[in-house]
Structure 1
């Protein structure tokens, strides 16, 4: 056993034995290095290992703290959800009516937003953004409106390209097309590489808006087995590519919605190589990439793309500016096609929003905001996991993602997620039932829970949902 592993094991034993309790600060790197006679790098490696095990969390400028892992009742073990096992056939998509029903019923601002797709507005520097917006509006000239037509505001595209460079990726600003949020970027990419009737591979489960995009274009969904921790099963994907005429893949390799899975770097590299061999484009949805809870931002699949087949889509909506609707795509070899489609549809993203974000980024402070946001989301995840462990019925499985703000919860098979969603609404709580994350409405006993609203009564709401789920598990009655 290596020195860092020995030290990590000592800390883990203190946590499991109760000597270090949830929320308590573990020894600083300097303290541990001096007391144990080991190098600071050894301490860091130990703490990175404990983070990966979910035992501690880093808080920017504060140190490392024990995660809020509450002991489970005797005889009860809370495992992660099982890997999915889709049928393996492509299918037409007709989910929009169900999605509209679920989302429409959850619009009441008085609801506890466990089913929301967005984090809380109080997490973002909205006042400073508003000042940037007002400043830009005062300087807005007619010429700048024309100049912001697709591909978008040049200054903002250069700043986006610079952020790629900070991640070690050489992305030319000319490849970047600014869009009305990431969803437009994803839809434009889909339109650039498919025709109605084509087959598109997606994860299982997958984000319901991806399914709606396929439905709108008359495309067929091929759901591929996906692991709740490591993402899409590459062997299953390779088999799917051999059996079906897949024209594109729409995947979320980092902090997938709804699972929260994160593909390890070597698997992302293998994914890109597999698709390159078959010349299948990858539409990469990476809107949660900045919301990592570990020390480093995970590299996107785009980082391993040498042939321009990966269309990397992201936005500022989930990490900085909800409501500004500014996203982008680094479209590789498809940049020209995406830009033309953008011009043919919506011409450009809103010029004031682009200029406001460009001004904000130029002023500095974005990284400081992101560090605070990540620390808050890490604490929120711990706040959510504890009541789920205590109050949800026996047999519940829950993912423990390394980023984002969603938990994928697999309930006992007797629980119907749609019925649970409706029962929770009656108690003033929204949920996202598993049926909306699949083209054939599987995952009927799963729910996605949003923990990204610090002001919401999270623990009380989860206690209520747990009681409703336990009641169903005891006396099942399908919706």
Structure 2
């Protein structure tokens, strides 16, 4: 276990230096012997580090000379443009397209690039099953009784403890459990707004959040978003007089994978608090970082209880368990009232099982492995896209999460590409799904949470060939 930890640690450290530009293409890496001395590892472990970096296409081996940093695949592909949505709120939902794409969920015959969730093959299913059995034994009446309205105490306590890693400093009493993050966001929207209110969101944005806002009668104002740093603060400042609420995914926004810098988060929290505009923060991807540490949240800078922080294990551990939570700040009583009306109680056995899993340390071990796989997948995807997709293709550079945003040449309709790809048993998420406006027609989101294989590489090759045909 210790060798495995060191191998991952050293390989990830070098990969981060390469991604950050500390090590440039063509730079020579230390020898195997030197790596052993610098990190106090064995020769076999050092060799495994180099093999792993080679497998990620990060380094090249030159006989008799050693290892050198290769030109990274994503350096060959430009970034997508900053989004420029209309400054007028819109409600033009692509309902038929969304229905068509999401009807594929659970279809094992398809390669589901379209669904942003980790494959079951990447999840610790046997261990989860054991925790479910243990939960039925530990809970009163085998878990058949109602939970307290605020939710499982053990789960709230462990989530509060884990918030220290991103500066949350939460207490168990600050949290309310929910049926996944989308339920948490729904309760927040119902508690804070009313039909006709305007809510500011990133563009592009997760279709589920757009549909939720529209279904509750909100007007959605999409704001310009940078593919690396997220929401453009200048655009938010300009929109302040128009909006009543703000809903953001600052950490690894889907579909872009952007991560808002801490100084931007701090400025946005202060700006919205000054104008008494609540901020709903969806942090569902926060644990899936590719860097050295988990990014902070907007909630980290909240001094007035104006940020409602929502998250869950749906993207990290168990999508179907529907276990989430919210730290609603000064709006706690409003959310408790709504939860009583709409849910009465959360699923006792499931929440207890997840709490046990998080508390045991198994979750952190799982996350380390999952993050490494997702980062490796991202590099493999971009390498395949650079090789097989049409010239001029652009890709995002996610710093975490499950999504890769691909921008094709103008004139390529990814809704038409979807229809061609589905005949090849490939499902994608066309860019038009991620907006209420007529934009992103030449873009698509690909989920990187699938196990990498020769078959998956072949599917990306087929997708690239189809894109060339349109």
TM-score for the superposition, normalised by structure 2: 0.85
Question: Does the residue aligned with 1:465 lie in a helix, a strand or coil?
Answer: helix
Determine the C-alpha separation between the residues in 2 that align with 1:414 and 1:440.
17
Question: Does the residue aligned with 1:87 lie in a helix, a strand or coil?
Answer: coil
1:317 to partner: Cα distance: 1.3
2:26 maps to 1:17: yes
Q: What's the counterpart of residue 60 of structure 1?
A: none
Q: Deviations over 1:409-464 (max 9, x none)?
A: 01001200100011110111110000000012410000001111115532111111
Is contact 1:205-1:438 (8 Å) kept?
yes
Question: Does the residue aligned with 2:336 lie in a helix, a strand or coil?
Answer: helix
Q: Deviations over 1:382-425 (max 9, x none)?
A: 11010101111111110011101211001001200100011110
1:186 to partner: Cα distance: 0.8
Question: Does the residue aligned with 2:245 lie in a helix, a strand or coil?
Answer: strand
2:329 maps to 1:332: yes
2:432 maps to 1:471: no
Q: What's the counterpart of residue 136 of structure 1?
A: 135
Rate the CA distance shift 1:239–1:253 in 2: closer, same or farther, 3 A.
same
Determine the C-alpha separation between the residues in 1 that align with 2:427 and 2:266.
37
Question: Does the residue aligned with 1:394 lie in a helix, a strand or coil?
Answer: coil
From 373, 377, 382, the equivalent of 1:380 is 377
Is contact 1:26-1:65 (8 Å) kept?
no
Determine the C-alpha separation between the residues in 1 that align with 2:332 and 2:142.
24
Aligned length: 430
1:329 to partner: Cα distance: 0.5
Determine the C-alpha separation between the residues in 1 that align with 2:97 and 2:374.
29
RMSD: 2.8
Is contact 1:92-1:218 (8 Å) kept?
no
Q: Which runs of 5+ in 1 are unaligned?
A: 1-7, 34-53, 57-63, 473-479
2:207 maps to 1:208: yes
Rate the CA distance shift 1:409–1:175 in 2: closer, same or farther, 3 A.
same
1:70 to partner: Cα distance: 4.1
1:335 to partner: Cα distance: 1.3
Matches within 5 A, 1:52-201: 69-70=72-73, 77-105=76-104, 107-142=106-141, 148-201=147-200
Is contact 1:26-1:66 (8 Å) kept?
no
2:313 maps to 1:304: no
Question: Does the residue aligned with 2:200 lie in a helix, a strand or coil?
Answer: strand
Q: What's the counterpart of residue 458 of structure 1?
A: 456
Q: Deviations over 1:209-251 (max 9, x none)?
A: 0111012111111000000000000000110113x1x111111
Rate the CA distance shift 1:406–1:234 in 2: closer, same or farther, 3 A.
same
Rate the CA distance shift 1:249–1:32 in 2: closer, same or farther, 3 A.
same
Is contact 1:147-1:153 (8 Å) kept?
no
Is contact 1:302-1:312 (8 Å) kept?
yes
Q: What's the counterpart of residue 426 of structure 1?
A: 423
Question: Does the residue aligned with 2:319 lie in a helix, a strand or coil?
Answer: coil
Is contact 1:86-1:224 (8 Å) kept?
yes
Determine the C-alpha separation between the residues in 2 that align with 1:446 and 1:194.
32
Rate the CA distance shift 1:382–1:352 in 2: closer, same or farther, 3 A.
same
Q: What's the counterpart of residue 316 of structure 1?
A: 313
Determine the C-alpha separation between the residues in 2 that align with 1:290 and 1:191.
27
1:19 to partner: Cα distance: 5.7
2:434 maps to 1:437: yes
2:248 maps to 1:251: yes
Determine the C-alpha separation between the residues in 2 that align with 1:189 and 1:30.
53
Rate the CA distance shift 1:193–1:93 in 2: closer, same or farther, 3 A.
farther
Determine the C-alpha separation between the residues in 1 that align with 2:254 and 2:70.
23
Determine the C-alpha separation between the residues in 2 that align with 1:439 and 1:303.
30
Q: What's the counterpart of residue 394 of structure 1?
A: 391
1:281 to partner: Cα distance: 0.7
Determine the C-alpha separation between the residues in 1 that align with 2:148 and 2:129.
23
Determine the C-alpha separation between the residues in 2 that align with 1:234 and 1:316.
29
1:358 to partner: Cα distance: 1.5
Q: Deviations over 1:183-202 (max 9, x none)?
A: 10011111111101110001
2:45 maps to 1:31: no
1:349 to partner: Cα distance: 1.9
